[in-house]
Amino acid sequence: MRTPTNKNDVLIPEVSSDIGLSVAARGSAISTVATPKIFSADELTVAPLSRNGSLNQGLDSEATRHGGGGGEERIAILYENHQWLEGLFRELDFRGLPYHAINLDDAALFLDAPDDYPLVINRVSPSSYLRGHGSAIRLATGWLEMLERSGKRVINGAASFKVETSKVAQHLLIRSLGLSAPKTAVFNNREAIRPLLHRFPFPAILKPDTGGSGAYIRYVPSREYLEYLLKDEDKLFGPDHVLLLQEFITPADGTIVRTEFVDGEFLFALKVRPVNTFNLCPADGCERPPAAGQSEGDSEPTVDFEHYSDISSDAVAEARAIVQEAGLEVGGVEYIESSDGQRYFFDINAPSVYRPDIVEAAGVDAMTKFVDFIEREYRKELRKRMESLEAIDCNLRLTG
């Protein structure tokens, strides 16, 4: 069997000519397999290489927007925010890996006839609704389940997406592992929460069940202030109309720790120091509205990020247990260390954005690690297809 000799060569099964079937490098799904063939990147890849760092997908725009076309040998990437995927697209282009980027903000599919992608990657964010793409979350939920029911390999699939898009599910998962989390109540009506308030510690925060980028989070210094907020129900709830009232944990050093993993491998941790904002998004250009309810005066909302090189092995092990229990193959966990040394986990994130300054300080090429994982899983799925189709071909020969 030939193996790729160039970084941009891709190993794709080729149909044997004596079976009476054929396959095109670009356009058709594989029907059966006898021998492998090496296709160069310019024969196979949907997107041309981009070695100078510029993004040039070269995808058919209609197919990209609407998810049309056959799966063929391409990797499907489900997303709704192009800005956060440019680094991933560049690395896939550089390696010559064929992919189909599907924007779920504008998409359609047959539930009974999924495209035959060998590998699907979910990169839809819970904060989609902040960009007017709230329907992408609901569509992704159904699409991922449909893909998995049809036997497709999905990275960050339906189970992990349900956890990521529900703070309630995250809290229950963290507590199920015996780990500490802030005391939390959940409610969907302002009157329903009142009987619980006498047992709730303040200060606290209000946050929506489907969060992301600090959306709709309010600092609640006292019960009296919460009563003030409860007066206006129209402005109280976010889009899903489910709120969490959560104990506010004061960080010992004013920072929140965020960990990052790929396929169970710990990549790095960073310390996040927010000032007058709840939006901890690590991407440059993220809008950071002032934190509602906090008395920061006229402080400009800012967030500082630094590599956390001294994270304890216990913290890494606990964070790893959370992502593995959540079925999250790419993503991370956030926690706060209080002044008494207690570690409180409170957030699970999948759409990792790797900051160049943090990656450099950590000495870990996170995007390379991510795409290494993608490529391994892609090769595995191609091998499975080849083995399955070789078995079919063998049976045809024996019975023919």
Residue-wise pLDDT for 316-370, tens only, equals 999 999 999 999 999 999 999 999 899 999 999 987 789 999 999 999 999 999 9
How do strand 119-122 and strand 153-155 relate by DSSP bridges? parallel
* Residue 2 covered by a domain: no
Contact between 103 and 72 under an 8 Å Cβ cutoff? The reply is: no
Q: Do 272 and 225 share a structural domain?
A: no
Q: Do 292 and 188 share a structural domain?
A: no
* Residue 275 covered by a domain: yes
Q: Do 173 and 316 share a structural domain?
A: yes
Predicted pLDDT at 382? 93
On the question of pLDDT at 28 being above 70, the answer is: no
Share of the chain above pLDDT 90, in %: 50
**Beta-bridge mates of residue 12:** 37
* Residue 1 covered by a domain: no
Instruction: Report the distance separating Cα 105 and Cα 124, nearest Å.
Output: 10
Mean pLDDT to the nearest integer, 158-165: 94
Lowest mean pLDDT among 28-42, 101-115, 225-239, 242-256: 28-42
* Residue 35 covered by a domain: yes
pLDDT: is 374 or 44 the higher one? 374
Give the CATH number for residue 267. Answer: 3.30.470.20
Q: Do 147 and 44 share a structural domain?
A: yes
Q: Do 61 and 40 share a structural domain?
A: yes
- Estimate to the nearest angstrom the gap between the alpha carbon of 41 and the chain centroid: 27
Q: Which residue has the tokens 């309010």?
A: 218
- In the chain, the number of structural domains is 3
SS (H, E, C) 264-328: CEEEEEEEEEEECCCCCCCCCCCCCCCCECCCCCCCCCEEEEEECCCCCHHHHHHHHHHHHHCCC
Instruction: Report the distance separating Cα 284 and Cα 276, nearest Å.
Output: 17
Q: Do 206 and 174 share a structural domain?
A: no
Domain ranges, residue 219: 184-247
* Residue 264 covered by a domain: yes
User: pLDDT, tens digit, for every residue of 15-25?
Assistant: 332 322 222 22
Q: Which of 384, 359, 353 is nearest to 87 (CA)?
A: 353
* Residue 5 covered by a domain: no
Q: Do 115 and 73 share a structural domain?
A: yes
Lowest mean pLDDT among 12-16, 85-89, 121-125, 136-140: 12-16
Burial of 385 (0-12, 13-18, 19+ CB in 10 A): middle
pTM of this structure: 0.78
Predicted pLDDT at 70? 44
Give the CATH number for residue 205. Answer: 3.30.1490.20
Q: Do 215 and 262 share a structural domain?
A: no
* Residue 38 covered by a domain: yes
* Residue 337 covered by a domain: yes
Mean pLDDT to the nearest integer, 288-293: 64
Predicted pLDDT at 132? 66
Q: Do 332 and 193 share a structural domain?
A: no
Q: Which of 173, 166, 175 is nearest to 210 (CA)?
A: 166
Q: Do 285 and 168 share a structural domain?
A: yes
On the question of pLDDT at 111 being above 70, the answer is: yes
Q: Do 170 and 308 share a structural domain?
A: yes
Q: Do 134 and 21 share a structural domain?
A: yes
User: pLDDT, tens digit, for every residue of 225-282?
Assistant: 999 988 877 777 877 789 999 999 999 999 999 999 999 999 999 999 988 777 677 7
Q: For residue 74, give the DSSP letter.
A: P
How do strand 35-39 and strand 10-14 relate by DSSP bridges? antiparallel
Domain boundary among 247, 271, 299: 247
Mean pLDDT to the nearest integer, 159-183: 96
Domain boundary among 247, 280, 298: 247
Domain boundary among 247, 272, 301: 247
Predicted pLDDT at 31? 26
Distances (CA, A) of 86 to 50, 90, 93, 123: 11, 6, 10, 12
